[in-house]
A and B are shown apart, each in its own frame.
Chain A
Amino acid sequence: MNGRPLSWFNVTSLTLGFAFLYLPMLILVIYSFNASKLVTVWAGFSTKWYVALIHDQQFLDAAWVTLRVAVASSTLATILGTMAAYALTRFSRFAGRTVFSGMIYAPLVMPDVIIGLSLLLLFISIGLDRGIFTIILAHTTFSMCYVAIVVSSRLQSFDKSLEEAALDLGCTPFDAFKSVTLPIIAPAVISGWLLAFTLSLDDLVIASFVTGPSSTTLPIKIFSSIRLGVNPEINALSTILIAIVAVGVITASLVSKRTIAKREREALEAN
């Protein structure tokens, strides 16, 4: 849909829209450098909340738990989700396929409280000790569905005959997957992993249900500190998290831009 100039209405809605999306976070970042404990009174530039944060052992512990959970669950979810995507897009017919695809789409919209409560009741009824392990199981379960959807859209869009050609030329199915399919779907697999990773970092509700007394994740810690109001240490922590995400996403998009440009250049040279 292009070929028409942007009207003033389009420009205004884009400007206001992005201002709405970014101003609250910008305000949060600015006030994290405020010397005053009050949110609104500006008492000069200070990094004391960052210093306080680094010396807060509880936050450091929670961050470490969160990181371990996120790495483990997103890796597991990527493996399971890629398998599920492959099953859904390449095997058009098997018993219970509808149920399977239903279970892939349902967790996307299922309220967190239901997933959290149901998993907790499962863990209790099989007598599993709650802690990091149960959070990893829970996070893997819902993030594998996101991975499956990201990867299956990539699997659908690529030319299946490439796989068939590899098989005709004597590849084993595993070799064909490894040397043809995997490189093509790799960007989707990587973004699936990143998505699963951030979903895990982000989750408060499900982790609150399935965690044990000894493992507190960062969102649980943040939630308990902001329940009663604004807390400058949390502003500092939020700024750090926002910065990490911004740097990560911008780097990823620059890298993918460069790979696309390189690929196009190579295609041109080949012609």
Chain B
Amino acid sequence: MNFRRLLIIVVPYAWLIALFLVPFLIILKISLSDIAIAIPPYTPTFDLSAGWEGVKTFFSELDFENYIFLWTDDLYWKSFLSSITIASVSTFLTLLVAFPIAYGMAKSPPSWRPTLMMLVILPFWTSFLIRVYSWMGILSNNGFLNSFLVWTGIIDSPLHILNTNIAVYIGIVYTYLPFMILPIYASLEKMDISLLEAAEDLGCTRMSAFWLVTVPLARHGIIAGCFLVFIPVNGEFVIPSLLGGSSTNMIGKVLWDEFFNNRDWPVASAVAIVLLLILVIPIMLFQRNQQKQQEAVL
């Protein structure tokens, strides 16, 4: 029993340490290195054969130069700032779109709910790339939306939407919508309707009952949904590179370009570490929220 128990814990644990934790230490190390024209393209590299002296020179050659570079070059901190702004605004927009849908689902007859759930989950199973791509054809200058609007006579000349931040917002709300709907729906569905009736009997209007009863009870779902959107959007690469324009600077795209186009691995690693530091607080808050929710269930 004990051996088996050990095996069940150790195998996945070791896997995650080797392929999730250790890589972070490597990123951290390379972010302190310098770019070099070599394979791999950074220096110093770890050389165990040189013994203790080798370890000492290895550590003495590490420095924070790349971080100072990120700090002094406008491009980077502007991209970080614009990623956080885009992520916050789009999280809020997603919440605005998702809440009424989740609310309607929770109020619908129980026999409809499995079908509605499936309809929300189905897009999640289809390729993310294709869902983003579908908006390229809709939003382009001679795309579906513009042709439709010109045809109806609402506008005379096509609107320029593709390759702007507006297209990025539309893409984010569209692709991340199920992540927001599902946790909110899950918390609303469990809600006891008699609480609302009690609030109304005690003199609440429908509106104030909504804000005083429904919203607080859906709190965990709303928080979970917001984190599930906000955190990954910060590092989003596909949406800004397909729907965004040259003015859209998101950090995921900067990291990609730094790595693949400039081949500056140390700077790319430093960008990754800073992004991680920015996201560490929301990630921890998210985990606490999930744990609380789990405790509430048990």
Chain A residues near B (Cβ < 8 Å): 1-4, 6, 9-11, 13-14, 17-18, 20-22, 24-25, 27-28, 31, 38-40, 80-81, 83-84, 86-87, 91, 94, 96, 100-114, 117-119, 121-122, 124-125, 137-138, 140-141, 144, 148, 156, 173-174, 198, 201-202, 204-205, 208-209, 219, 222-223, 226-227, 229-230, 234-235, 238, 241-242, 245-246, 248-250, 253, 257
Q: B131 to nearest A CB, angstroms?
A: 7
Give the chain B neighbours of A235 by CB distance below 8 A: 137
> Roughly how many angstroms separate A238 CA and B15 CA in the complex, as a whole number?
34
Bitwise, B119-143 to A at CB < 8 A (1) or not (0) is 1111101111111011111101011
If A1-B188, A24-B134 touch, whether A118 touches B104 (CB-CB below 8 Å) is no
Q: Which of A31, A108, A241 is in CB contact (< 8 Å) with B137?
A: A31
Q: Which of B121, B130, B143, B283 is in CB contact (< 8 Å) with A238?
A: B130
Q: Are B290 and A28 in contact (CB under 8 A)?
A: no
Q: B113 to nearest A CB, angstroms?
A: 9
* Chain B residue with Cβ nearest A5: B107
Give the chain A neighbours of B24 by CB distance below 8 A: 118
Q: Which chain B residues numbered 18 to 45 have a C-beta less than 8 Å away from chain A?
A: 19-24, 26-27, 30, 40
Q: Which of A20, A80, A138, A230 is in CB contact (< 8 Å) with B140?
A: A230
* 20 sample A-B contacts, Cβ–Cβ < 8 Å, listed by A number: A2-B193, A4-B107, A6-B108, A14-B116, A25-B126, A25-B134, A27-B134, A28-B137, A80-B15, A111-B279, A118-B272, A121-B27, A124-B40, A148-B12, A173-B4, A202-B129, A205-B238, A222-B133, A229-B140, A238-B127
Give the chain B neighbours of A110 by CB distance below 8 A: 231-232, 235, 279, 283
Q: Are A24 and B135 in contact (CB under 8 A)?
A: yes
Give the chain B neighbours of A21 by CB distance below 8 A: 119-120, 123, 174, 177
Q: How large, as a class, is the contact surface on chain B?
A: 35 or more
Q: A161 to nearest B CB, angstroms?
A: 15
Q: Which of B125, B140, B188, B238 is in CB contact (< 8 Å) with A198?
A: B125
Does any Cβ of A come within 8 Å of B5's Cβ? yes
Q: Are A204 and B129 in contact (CB under 8 A)?
A: yes
Interface centre among A14, A124, A144 (most CB of B within 10 A): A14
> Roughly how many angstroms separate A91 CA and B106 CA in the complex, as a whole number?
35
Q: Are A28 and B130 in contact (CB under 8 A)?
A: yes
Q: B107 to nearest A CB, angstroms?
A: 5
Q: Are A27 and B144 in contact (CB under 8 A)?
A: yes
Q: Which chain B residues numbered 259 to 277 have a C-beta less than 8 Å away from chain A?
A: 259-260, 265, 268-269, 272, 275-276
